[in-house]
Amino acid sequence: MLTSKQRATLKSVASRTDAIFQIGKSGVGEAAVKSIGDALEARELVKISVLENSDEDAREAGEAIAAATGSELVAVIGRKIILFRQSSKPEKRAISTLI
């Protein structure tokens, strides 16, 4: 569980990055969850955009993805989702050292 200070730090880092995934009309599928899980392992912090034509609410999609990937839902801002999961590889833990 993240503290409010850790969430604020992660939101600050995420604000300077672009969304690397998009959730569209098809919603959150198994392939998307696997790709997001792989990206979390490599980057630790992932920003996802929920498109206008998506049938899913950003908060619901974020909670579903976080549960499926074992990550923490940092924030949902508008149609953007920010997820964090510490990498299992110590050499990939760039973001974890900040919090």
Query: What letter represents residue 25's amino acid?
Result: K
Grade residue 26 by pLDDT with cuts at 50, 70 and 90.
Answer: confident
List the domain range (segments joined by +) for residue 20: 4-98
- Whole-model pTM: value is 0.93
Q: What does the mean pLDDT of the chain come to?
A: 93
Number of domains in the chain: 1
Grade residue 97 by pLDDT with cuts at 50, 70 and 90.
Answer: confident
Q: Is residue 70 scored above 90 in pLDDT?
A: yes
How far is CA 30 from each of CA 8, 15, 35, 55, rounded to the nearest angstrom?
Answer: 30, 27, 9, 17
DSSP assignment of 33-99 = HHHHHHHHHHHSEEEEEE-TT-SS-HHHHHHHHHHHHT-EEEEEETTEEEEE---SSGGG-TTGGG-
Higher pLDDT, 26 or 50: 50
CATH code for the domain of 8: 3.30.110.60
